Chains A and B, each alone.
Chain A
């Protein structure tokens, strides 16, 4: 346990140092590209052979209100993780929003099945420990494609572990915990994939190189999520207007 903690702290330190050195950098290297491309191909094959058919079947046999209820339920379950990270980032207004949403949806929304808070003008937002580390100045580390889970960075991957401890279900005991956890993960994953069938198809059709396209989409959307959509205008690249032909 002590050895694990030590390794985590060492990794944390190197990420932080790396982050300080390259915080304003627009371009991210991909030193693990051969490994990442292999993982990407594996995920694409899994997606085409298993996930897409399962997602389509799920959509065909599950009525839309049930699917929406399930999604709301999972999103509500994640609220404590979002709240913890809102607080760690000092985003008090957003923390208040998350707490209000959680309270309202868990009670009036029948355990989170209905997103009544949204109807009250309280929009949902996402946060995770990877974003919290980014806010404190820790660099992203290299791009990583995780088996099954897809695009990530070293920072975001490490961030998954503290998030696990913020999730209330981690401390809930069930008679058969594995069955419950596995069912929850499979359902959540299937529901998520079923909602991106069209957009992923479109991306696959238009991408010149799917791997590069997904990698850039990941970095850009991740950067936007970290800043909560606020631009750091200085980070935008310059357009060379002077050498137009």
Chain B
């Protein structure tokens, strides 16, 4: 009887685990995106505080290290740790700069979560729609790729209008590196050149 109970318990635990991971990913997106939207819509914050808060939230949601290594593609393994660190810093500054330039357009949107699909344990896609605010005439379907990193869910890619952003960045970045003889410093320099106030030096 005891053995039977243990078997049933183990099986149900194994089956329930992906469900819990998927739900965790769903709650993560709901909570974090709402937090970002709250920051953007908060009239009590001045511009500088809003930008700082926004950047803090983004860095908590996304794992820049993992994304930076992904966009380097096969070149990540060939580069030195120092090169990867420099690239990651330049990539982070660039990405935040892009978001910063778009901040004024957003803030009054709402997110609707539809479903979550688990790709494999610790790797889920959350399907959402962003409506209202800047997209009130054309709600956008957005997919979030959530990966569990060090027991914490993190966004590593998002898909808008059929385009996965990290995958697109990888195509562009690896293209630049390939055209520069495999030197990832070329990509670091290029990212820096496109970022206002870039402080990364090779």
Contacts and interface: CB of A to CB of B under 8 A. Distances in A.
Interface of A: 206-209, 212-213, 215-217, 220-221, 223-225, 229, 231, 233-234, 236-237, 239-241, 243-245
Contacts of B168: 213, 216-217, 220
Interface string B47-77: 0000000000000000101110110000010
Contacts of B78: none
A206 B65 contact: no
B66 A209 contact: no
Contacts of B119: 233-234, 236
A239 B162 contact: no
Contacts of B85: 245
A224 B162 contact: yes
A245 B81 contact: yes
A15 B165 CA distance: 29
A244 B149 contact: yes
A231 B117 contact: yes
Contacts of A217: 163, 168
B66 A241 contact: yes
B156 interface: yes
B29 to A, nearest CB: 16
Contacts of B156: 239
Nearest to A225: B162
A244 B66 contact: yes
Nearest to A234: B119
Given A215-B171, A237-B167, A221 B84 contact: no
B172 interface: yes
Contacts of A207: 172
Interface in B140-175: 141, 143, 145, 147, 149, 156-157, 161-164, 167-168, 171-173, 175
A241 B70 CA distance: 9
A240 B175 contact: no
A241 B147 contact: yes
B125 interface: yes
B113 interface: no
A216 B171 contact: yes
A243 B190 CA distance: 25
A208 B163 contact: no
B152 to A, nearest CB: 11
A225 B161 CA distance: 10
B176 interface: yes
